[in-house]
Amino acid sequence: MDKNEIFLAQTDTTVGFLSQNSDKLKNLKNRDINKPFLKIVDSFFTLKKFVRPPNRFKNKIRRSKKTTFIYSNNQAIRVNFNLEHNKLLQKFKWFYSTSANEKSKKYDSYFAYQNATVVCEDNRGLFETSSSKIIKLSQNKEVRLRWIKYYLWF
């Protein structure tokens, strides 16, 4: 498998395009060149290759599922805890990640399949769910930028 390929896969949060080539993802999504992608990593060990997590928040980072943290160097990184998704991640250790949709639109399977070079579909299939929480960390404080919306059905 080539590191320049664009994978379509069910991530721990939603259907996403994954690649280690951010330029290909930017072209695909017509994204502003100054807007960075989040990275999804397979383990806390891999996370420490990109950033130095503040000591105060290390346990929170290890235990927070479906949460993206923005670190002091402005890198947004999420550690994956989903076993199915980790099967793909462990081969590459990390990916740039973005939702598998056109800019500012909902998930469209036709668009996703047409633009992916490799489709990685496991027994769960591909489905859209809520996106991750986003928390910005500094040395001493955290700021919640996005929450997961939970809906109760009665």
What does the pLDDT average to over 17-25?
A: 95
pLDDT of the residue at 139: 87
The residues, any chain, with a CB within 8 Å of residue 64's CB and separated by 6 or more, are 133, 135
CATH topology of domain 7-146: DHBP synthase (3.90.870)
pLDDT tens digit string along 34-48?
A: 889 999 999 999 999
Q: Dihedral through CA 13, CA 47, CA 117, CA 98, nearest 10? A: 40
pLDDT of the residue at 151: 45
Banded pLDDT at 132 (limits 50, 70, 90) = confident
The most distant pair of C-alpha atoms in the chain lies apart, rounded to whole Å, by 47
pLDDT of the residue at 86: 87
Q: How many CB atoms lie within 10 A of CB 114?
A: 9
Domain boundaries of the chain, sorted by first residue: 7-146
Give the gyration radius of the chain's Cα atoms. 15
pLDDT of the residue at 149: 54
| pLDDT above 90 for 153 | no
| Helix (H) / strand (E) containing 44 | helix 44-50
Q: How does the average pLDDT of the chain come out, rounded? A: 88
Query: Is this prediction's pTM over 0.85?
Result: yes
pLDDT of the residue at 154: 41
| pLDDT above 50 for 74 | yes
Per-residue CA distances from 33 to 36, 37, 102, 122 (Å): 8, 10, 16, 32
